[in-house]
C-alpha cells in the first residue's frame, strides 16, 4: 500500500481544505470514499479488470494538487480555437479540474438546458445532484472511483430536461495546464432526461510540458427514448496519464453512442460500463487507438444487458507502432431473463513492430438462451494482396501501407455522426499516421 499512502495522508491532512472549495453534496461522499480507498487501495493487476495497467505505478510519483482552487492565469477562449472547420458547437472549458465560468459563451442553449460547474450546480440544486451523484460510480467497488470521490472538488454538469433536443453539439475542452507536475480529479455528471437529445464532445489537451495525472469519473443517465452521442477525443502528450471511468445507464428505448478516440497520450486507461436498464435500448460503442513510442492505451468495457430486447454493438480498433502497448477487454454480460438480446463485439488490431504489444480479450457471459451474440477479434497485418495491388498501380510501398492503415482506422471514424468532426478526424488520423503532427493546428495552446 505504498502508492496509496501519500493519498491517504494527503486526504487526512487536507480534508477540510478540500471541502471548503467544493460543495456539500460532493463533500457528503468523501469520508465513505476515503474508507473505501483505504480498504481497496489501487486495483492491482491481479484484478481481472485491471490486468493490463499498473495503476499503482502511475500514481506513485509525487504530483501537486490544486486543492486551494488557485486561479490559473489563462483565458482559454483567447487561446483556444477549435480546429474543426464548419463544426459549430457550444464551447466550454474545464481547466484542470475546474469548470471555467469566467467568460461563458453567448451560445443560446434551449430552455432549461444546463451546462455548468458541478460544484455550482450542487450548491444551487442539491436535491437534484444528490439524486444522481455517486449512484452509478460506486466508490465501494473501485479504488479509482474512491480516490476521485475523495478528492474531486468540481467538474462538469450537463442537464437536458425532458423532451428537449439540443441540436448544436456541446463541446467541452479539458485543458491540462500547470507549472509543476499536476494531478487533477475531474467529475462529470450528465443527465439526459426522457425523450431528450444531445451530442457531447470532450477533447482532452495538455498544454504544458509537465507530467499530468488526470482521473475522471463520469456518470451518464440516458432517460427513456433519449438519444445521447458522447465523443471523447484525447490528444494530450506522452507525459500525461489518464484514468477515466465512465458509467452509463440507459432507460427504455434510449440510444447511446459512445465514441472514444485516443490519438495522442502517455498512459490511458478508460473504463466504460454501460447498463441497459430498460427494454429496447441500444448501445453503440466505438473506439479508435493510434499509439506509438511508449504509449499505453487500455480500454476496458462492460455492456450489461439486464433486460430483454436490447441491442449492443461494439467496435474497437488499434494501430500500434514503436513500443506501444494496447489492451482491449470488452465484456458483454447478458443476464438471466434478458431474452432477445443481440450483441456484436469486434476488436481488430494492427501491430506494426516486434516491440509493440497487443492484449485483447473479448468476453461473452451469457445467462439467457434466446440471444444472438457474437464477438470477434483479430491481430494481424495489412492485407498483402491489397498492398501488392496498390504497388502494381504504382503506389509506393510506404504510401500503400499508410492508405491501408488509414482505411483500417477509418471504419471507426465513420461511426461519428457529426460530419465536420468526422471529416476532420479522418484528416487528423492521416496526419497522425504520416507522423506530421502531434498536436492540433488551430490553437495557440499547442504552439
Q: Using the rule CB under 8 A, which residue among 383, 417, 434, 435 binds another protein?
A: 383
| Residues 109-138 interacting with another protein (rule: CB under 8 A) | none
Using rule CB under 8 A, residue 85 touches another protein:
no
| Strands annotated E in 46-181 | 90-95, 98-99, 114-117, 154-160, 170-176
| HSE value, Cβ hemisphere, 13 Å, CA-based, for 129 | 27
Please identify which residue in the block is written with the cell numbers 509543476.
180
Least Å from the CB of residue 354 to another protein: 5
CB-based contacts of 420, cutoff 8 Å, min separation 6 = 84, 85, 86, 87
- Between 81 and 391, whose beta carbon lies closer to another protein? 391
Parallel, antiparallel or unpaired: strands 98-99 and 90-95: antiparallel
Using rule CB under 8 A, residue 389 touches another protein:
yes
| Alpha-carbon gap, residue 328 to 43, rounded angstroms | 17
Helix (H) or strand (E) holding 392: helix 384-392
Using rule CB under 8 A, residue 442 touches another protein:
no
Least Å from the CB of residue 308 to another protein: 11
Least Å from the CB of residue 249 to another protein: 24
CB-based contacts of 402, cutoff 8 Å, min separation 6 = 430, 433, 434
Least Å from the CB of residue 322 to another protein: 11
Least Å from the CB of residue 53 to another protein: 14
- Between 24 and 388, whose beta carbon lies closer to another protein? 388
Least Å from the CB of residue 400 to another protein: 8
| HSE value, Cβ hemisphere, 13 Å, CA-based, for 46 | 0
Smallest CA-to-CA distance from 31 within 117, 110, 174, 134 is with 134
Q: Using the rule CB under 8 A, which residue among 406, 437, 439, 442 binds another protein?
A: 406
Task: Report which DSSP code applies to 74.
Answer: -
- Helices 30-40 and 2-20 meet at what angle, rounded to 10? 180
| Residues 17-76 interacting with another protein (rule: CB under 8 A) | 48
Least Å from the CB of residue 59 to another protein: 25
- Between 28 and 373, whose beta carbon lies closer to another protein? 373
| Alpha-carbon gap, residue 256 to 285, rounded angstroms | 8
What's the helix, strand, coil split of the chain in %, to 5? 25, 40, 35
- Between 271 and 331, whose beta carbon lies closer to another protein? 331
| Residues 312-371 interacting with another protein (rule: CB under 8 A) | 336-337, 339, 349, 351-354, 356-371
- Between 9 and 48, whose beta carbon lies closer to another protein? 48
Instruction: Find the radius of gyration of the CA atoms of the chain.
Output: 21
Grid coordinates representing 441 are: 493546428
Q: Applying CB under 8 A, which part among 223-231, 248-256, 279-287, 393-401 lies near another protein?
A: 393-401
Residues paired with 380 in a beta bridge: 350
- Between 44 and 353, whose beta carbon lies closer to another protein? 353
Using rule CB under 8 A, residue 8 touches another protein:
no
Using rule CB under 8 A, residue 375 touches another protein:
yes
Least Å from the CB of residue 85 to another protein: 17
Per-residue contact flags (x/-) with another protein for residues 199 to 228, judged by CB under 8 A: ------------------------------
- Between 109 and 382, whose beta carbon lies closer to another protein? 382
Smallest CA-to-CA distance from 250 within 201, 190, 335 is with 190
Using rule CB under 8 A, residue 293 touches another protein:
no
Using rule CB under 8 A, residue 419 touches another protein:
no
Q: With 0-12 CB in 10 A as exposed, 13-18 as middle and 19+ as buried, what is 230?
A: buried
| Alpha-carbon gap, residue 295 to 212, rounded angstroms | 14
Grid coordinates representing 411 are: 471504419
- Between 73 and 380, whose beta carbon lies closer to another protein? 380
Q: Using the rule CB under 8 A, which residue among 101, 374, 435, 441 binds another protein?
A: 374
Using rule CB under 8 A, residue 102 touches another protein:
no
Binding site for another protein (CB under 8 A): 48, 336-337, 339, 349, 351-354, 356-381, 383-386, 388-397, 399-400, 403-404, 406-408, 410-411
Amino acid at each position: 500500500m505504498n502508492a496509496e499512502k501519500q493519498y491517504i495522508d494527503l486526504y487526512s491532512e487536507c480534508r477540510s481544505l478540500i471541502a471548503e472549495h467544493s460543495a456539500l453534496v460532493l463533500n457528503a461522499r468523501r469520508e465513505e470514499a476515503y474508507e473505501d480507498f483505504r480498504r481497496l487501495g489501487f486495483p492491482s493487476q491481479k484484478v481481472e479488470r485491471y490486468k493490463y495497467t499498473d495503476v499503482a505505478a502511475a500514481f506513485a510519483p509525487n504530483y501537486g494538487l490544486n486543492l486551494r482552487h488557485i486561479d490559473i492565469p489563462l483565458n482559454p477562449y483567447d487561446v483556444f480555437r477549435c480546429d474543426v472547420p464548419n463544426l459549430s458547437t457550444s464551447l466550454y472549458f474545464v481547466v484542470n479540474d475546474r469548470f471555467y465560468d469566467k467568460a461563458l459563451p453567448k451560445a443560446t442553449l434551449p430552455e432549461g438546458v444546463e451546462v455548468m460547474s458541478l460544484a455550482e450546480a450542487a450548491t444551487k440544486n442539491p436535491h437534484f445532484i444528490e439524486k444522481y451523484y455517486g449512484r452509478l460510480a460506486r466508490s465501494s467497488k473501485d479504488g479509482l472511483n474512491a480516490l476521485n470521490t475523495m478528492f474531486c472538488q468540481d467538474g462538469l454538469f450537463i442537464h437536458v430536461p425532458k423532451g428537449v433536443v439540443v441540436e448544436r453539439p456541446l463541446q467541452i475542452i479539458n485543458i491540462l495546464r500547470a507549472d509543476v507536475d499536476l494531478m487533477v480529479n475531474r467529475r462529470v455528471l450528465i443527465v439526459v432526461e426522457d425523450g431528450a437529445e444531445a451530442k457531447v464532445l470532450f477533447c482532452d489537451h495538455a498544454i504544458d510540458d509537465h507530467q499530468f495525472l488526470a482521473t475522471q469519473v463520469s456518470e451518464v443517465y440516458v432517460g427513456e427514448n433519449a438519444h445521447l452521442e458522447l465523443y471523447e477525443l484525447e490528444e494530450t502528450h506522452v507525459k500525461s496519464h489518464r484514468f477515466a471511468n465512465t458509467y452509463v445507464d440507459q432507460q427504455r428505448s434510449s440510444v447511446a453512442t459512445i465514441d472514444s478516440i485516443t490519438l495522442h497520450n502517455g498512459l490511458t486507461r478508460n473504463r466504460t460500463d454501460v447498463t441497459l436498464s430498460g427494454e429496447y435500448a441500444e448501445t453503440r460503442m466505438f473506439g479508435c487507438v493510434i499509439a506509438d513510442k511508449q504509449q499505453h492505451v487500455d480500454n476496458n468495457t462492460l455492456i450489461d444487458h439486464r433486460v430483454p430486447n436490447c441491442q449492443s454493438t461494439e467496435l474497437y480498433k488499434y494501430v500500434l507502432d514503436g513500443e506501444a502497448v494496447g489492451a482491449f477487454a470488452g465484456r458483454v454480460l447478458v443476464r438471466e431473463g434478458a431474452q432477445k438480446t443481440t450483441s456484436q463485439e469486434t476488436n481488430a488490431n494492427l501491430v506494426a513492430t516486434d516491440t509493440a504489444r497487443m492484449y485483447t480479450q473479448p468476453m461473452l457471459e451469457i445467462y439467457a438462451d434466446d440471444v444472438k451474440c457474437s464477438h470477434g477479434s483479430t491481430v494481424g497485418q495489412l492485407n498483402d494482396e491489397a498492398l501488392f495491388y496498390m504497388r502494381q498501380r504504382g503506389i509506393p510501398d510506404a504510401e500503400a501501407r499508410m492508405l491501408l492503415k488509414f482505411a483500417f482506422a477509418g471504419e471507426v471514424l465513420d461511426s461519428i455522426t457529426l460530419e465536420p468532426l468526422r471529416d476532420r478526424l479522418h484528416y487528423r488520423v492521416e496526419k497522425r499516421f504520416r507522423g506530421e503532427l502531434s498536436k492540433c493546428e488551430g490553437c495557440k495552446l499547442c504552439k
